[in-house]
Amino acid sequence: MTAWRRLHGGVRTTRGLLSSRWATDQHTWLCGHLTLCQSLSTSSLLRNDFYKDLEAQLAAMRKKAADALPGSSWTPLEINPNLPPERADVVIVGGGVMGWSVAYWLKQRERVREGVKVVVVEKDLTYSQASTVLSAGGIRQQFSLPENIHLSLSSAEFMRNINEHLGVLNEDPVDLQFNHSGYLFLASEDVAHIMEENYNTQRYAGAKVSLLSPAQLKEKYPCVNTDGVALASYGLENEGWFDPWTLLNAFRRKAMSMGVIQCCGEVTDFKYTVNKVPTADGDHLDCRRIKSVKQVQMPNSREYQPVECAVVVNAAGAFSAKLTEKLGIGSGPKGSIAEFPLPVEPRKRYVYVVHCPDGPGLDCPFLIDYSGVYLRREGLGGNYITGASPEEAEEPDTSNLEVDHQFFEDKVWPRLAHRVPVFEKLKLTSAWAGFYDYNSLDQNGIIGVHPLISNMYFATGFSGHGLQQSPAVGRAVAELILDGDFKTLNLHGLGFRRILAQEPMLERNIV
Amino acid sequence: MFSAQFSLSIPSQSLHTCCQRSALLLVARGLGSSSSVSPLPLHRRFLLFLNQRFYDVEMLLSWRAHMKSRAIEKKNAYYGYTRKHYGPYIASAYYILNMKGGFRFAGQTDWFRANQRGKFSWDFLNHRDAVLEEVDMSYTVINYTGLDNLAGQKSLRTLSLRGCSQVDDWFLARLHMFQDSLEELDISHCPRITTGGLAALRNLKGLRRLDVSSLPRISSPGLVIILLEEMLPQCQITATGYDHSLRQDSEEEKVDFMQGQQ
Ligand SMILES: Cc1cc2nc3c(=O)[nH]c(=O)nc-3n(C[C@H](O)[C@H](O)[C@H](O)COP(=O)(O)OP(=O)(O)OC[C@H]3O[C@@H](n4cnc5c(N)ncnc54)[C@H](O)[C@@H]3O)c2cc1C
């Protein structure tokens, strides 16, 4: 009865508190309609508190009741909670934002409760090297490929309604800390025409973007030096930056509340069969089918456990090519499809945090200069983050995540100070590095099934824009798995065909 | 309702001990021989019942929240039919009155308003070509989708969104649609607005007056208001309802912080 008594207590205290709370709330919210709303809002206040209490109490009671029932997972024997199940419908390799987004959407779209058994395997639960948490957290619609624009638009819509998607009963609502400041791209004379074409594509796709002449740019952003700028484009809506951790955790929390199993371990191998499939020209293809994710290796122990599964999702980010290697992709005979490895590799990118008290403050857009340097505000205390991509020939070593400070001195700061002169005086306060899941063919995501692995689905290779596209990509992959085709957005263009044909789907960049 | 169920099923036992006991029972059985199939004892049946029932209660609660947001969506639905037949100004006016808001046409002094019970006069239908100049949506449930109904108001000068429970950062980011005309904006007492949304007001360069009083989710209001003033130099910013001492604190904090950095 204790629980019930507590419930009663809750109601009584709410009543007791009511008079004082009422006065303050009245003051703030209801100034206009004093007399009319009085009785109404009293009861609604009471009701709200009552429901909150009730919800919490019910959750606790239900948990206890469920624990005590036969068939619950509660056992008196201590077992390794990270041990994966022996069988699952879908095993997702990689618990970054992509992996958890796919897991959430699989659960969201399953037709019967507990219809799909989903396991997410992540090797590092601290996410010390995952791109997701090391990214700059930006979202934009200023792309040139319609696929990318649509992916970002629908992800923005997802984030706008994030609590309808990822809210969990009895838990705090998700607060992405979304900062609504648009991207400001600057184009030089040579590339201004590309910017204009991109602008038209973006408007056509429904993105709210505006073009600015150098004079307008000067007027709107006085801090920007317009030397060499021929045209600028600025995103009015659905652009800005947010906290990647929050998004990752929100996906994970929701997916787990829907029954997705998380396990900690590294996928090191697969057990698969090979079928010879004849082709039209008399040849044959070696088609692989994964039977089980062979070794899920526990950290700090020598336990191994194979997980039998019907479908594997490769969401291992920068290291997804390692998984396909295990299936013989990239080591096939010359001239065969298996000759080409998955074109995704880690590429190290530095992010520098600088302090500049005279910086543009709240007015700071996500600036992208045609020299490749970017800049955005970080918090409200006069901090900014900046960086640039290195030249192809000067790609840094990817064996570690050490930061090259010389790169800031030589390549970033001079260009930044040229573009926004207040940054001539700044202090480098910290820096970090992360891996792009870099698609060396065309720097765009790969979504779909590999032609030689009939049950491995890919969501990888997003290079610099995977975080922002993750909500929409997760849905697309779930549609592929459960419905057999894309339902919401047509993303065939981002599939494997272009990779096999070696026809890159390049963004028409102005940088 | 719940109390009745409780007292009927286990009049003298607390739920807690009841759970514990059955758990113990389970353990004992699990460790011993496999149990024979016998009708479940009363308390086990009760627990089963609770488990099933509380899922329903949870469902009910989420369903309740769902219905509430459905109702708000419905109120904010796009007035496409009115727009097609009566033009954008009448459609907007009709939407505003339905939401219990008020407005003033350009060149007139009288306001059109719905009364407390949501009743309003239909006189506004006589002003087909009049444009909206001032709109007061304070304490209404206007939301992001509802803003579609105000799109195309090229002469909107004043907009009050005081105390709107559904106005959030995404809403503010959409106000750029009035960037050429809007001069006065009141977003005070909006419970959802955060600093991340205020940054979007930079698109409203014509703003002369802005009220950001009593926004509960702004964490360091002093600093934010200074930054807002820097961002909108021609705009007069009203910000009351914040603890003044707090404001000074954060100003000092900013200074301290900067000194610390240097
Ligand atoms: C500096 C930087 C800035 C960026 N800025 C932006 C930006 O502004 N906007 C944007 O949208 N994107 C940005 N990105 C890109 C974005 O971060 C990535 O595209 C995105 O996070 C990819 O998500 P993911 O889940 O695929 O990869 P990850 O987050 O890397 O997750 C992959 C996970 O898989 C795990 N894993 C790998 N192999 C195995 C295995 N064999 N077994 C088990 N687990 C395994 C890893 O531990 C990792 O946690 C940026 C990236 C970097 C590096």
Q: Domain map of chain B by residue range? A: 2-74, 80-261
A477-480 contact pairs (CB < 8 A, 24+) = A477/A102, A477/A105, A477/A313, A477/A447, A478/A102, A478/A105, A478/A106, A478/A108, A478/A109, A479/A105, A479/A109, A480/A447, A480/A448, A480/A449
The torsion of the CA quartet B240, B242, B243, B248, rounded to 10 degrees, works out to -90
Could you tell me which chain A residue has the CA closest to the CA of B22? A68
Which residues 116-145 of A are in CB contact (within 8 Å) with B? none
H helix intervals, A69-145: 97-109, 131-134
Q: Which two tokens stand for residue A271?
A: 């057990």
CB within 8 Å: B202 and A237: no
Looking at this protein, which amino acid is placed at residue B100? K
Non-local CB neighbours of A19 within 8 Å, separated by 6+ positions: none
Chain segment B76-96, per-residue pLDDT in tens: 999 999 999 999 999 999 999
Per-residue pLDDT, B38: 60
Nearest residue to A445 via CA among A314, A334, A335, A261: A314
Residue A31: pLDDT over 60: no
- DSSP SS3 for A5: helix
Chain segment A195-247, per-residue pLDDT in tens: 999 999 999 999 999 999 999 999 999 999 999 999 999 999 999 999 999 99
Looking at this protein, which amino acid is placed at residue A3? A
Residues with CB under 6 A from ligand 1: A 93-99, 121-124, 127, 130-132, 134-138, 266-267, 315-319, 323, 349, 351, 434-437, 460, 462, 464-468
Can you tell me the mean pLDDT for A312-323?
96
Could you tell me the pLDDT band of residue A68, with boundaries at 50, 70 and 90?
low
The pair phi, psi for residue A392, each rounded to 5°, is: -50, -40
Per-residue pLDDT, A69: 62
CA distance A406 to A388: 13
Residue A117: pLDDT over 90: yes
Chain segment A32-61, per-residue pLDDT in tens: 343 344 444 445 555 667 777 778 787 777
Q: Partners of A352 in the beta sheet?
A: A386, A431
Can you tell me the mean pLDDT for B34-42?
59
- DSSP SS3 for B129: coil
Nearest residue to B126 via CA among B142, B140, B108: B108
Residue A8: pLDDT over 90: no
- DSSP SS3 for A115: coil
CA distance A14 to A34: 22
Q: Domain B80-261: which CATH class?
A: alpha beta
Nearest residue to A149 via CA among A439, A374, A469, A427: A469
Instruction: Please name the residue that has the structure tokens 């286990």.
Output: B10
Per-residue pLDDT, A302: 66
Ligand 1: atom nearest CA of A265 is: 43
CB within 8 Å: A181 and B2: no
**Which of A100, A132, A246, A248 to mutate to test ligand 1, by most ligand atoms within 8 A of the CB atom?**
A132
CB within 8 Å: A4 and B15: yes
- DSSP SS3 for A463: strand
Per CB-CB distance under 8 Å, the chain B contacts of A362 are 195, 198-199, 202, 224, 227-228, 230-231
CA distance A7 to A128: 43
Q: Which two tokens stand for residue A67?
A: 């624990």
CA distance A17 to A42: 12
pTM of the model: 0.82
Q: How many helices (H) and strands (E) does chain A have?
A: 14, 20
Over A333-382, what HEC string results?
A: CCCCHHHCCCCEEEEEEEEEEEECCCCCHHHCCEEECCCCCEEEEECCCC
For residue A94, report the distance from its CA to the centre of ligand 1, in Å.
9
Per-residue pLDDT, A72: 56
Check if the interface score ipTM surpasses 0.85. Answer: no
Which residues 202-221 of B are in CB contact (within 8 Å) with A? 202-203, 205, 214, 220
Per-residue pLDDT, B64: 84
The pair phi, psi for residue A483, each rounded to 5°, is: -105, -10
Q: Tell me the shortest Cα–Cα distance from A305 to chain B, in angstroms.
A: 25
Non-local CB neighbours of A303 within 8 Å, separated by 6+ positions: A80, A83, A297
